Amino acid sequence: MLKEEKEDYLAAIGWPQYQAALTRAIDARYAYNAASERAIPAAEAAAMHAADKALDAARTQYPLAAAYSRGELQFPFSISKE
């Protein structure tokens, strides 16, 4: 039951959406860094900028998920290892 409560809690604070935006921003930064070693990464820079804007929007829309990502938010219950 606690695992389901954790999943429900994470869904309620927008964790899946925030995590998706964070993953896109990280991937875009890696792509930009890799492309910058070869040439001027104009397309990658635009993609990175868009991903960073989306992550900023997710931080605003899902502040509890952002706090959870930074380790500042604890669950209102403990998770047992079953």
Q: Is the pLDDT of residue 65 over 50?
A: yes
Residue type, 47: A
Give me 36's structure tokens. Answer: 């910058």
- Per residue in 43-62, pLDDT (tens digit) is 999 999 999 999 999 999 99
Domain edges within the chain: 11-69
CA-based nearest residue to 48, from 19, 24, 17, 20 = 24
pTM, rounded to two decimals: 0.80
- What sign for the dihedral angle of Cα 51, 52, 53, 57? positive
Dihedral Cα 82, 76, 22, 72, nearest 10 deg: -120
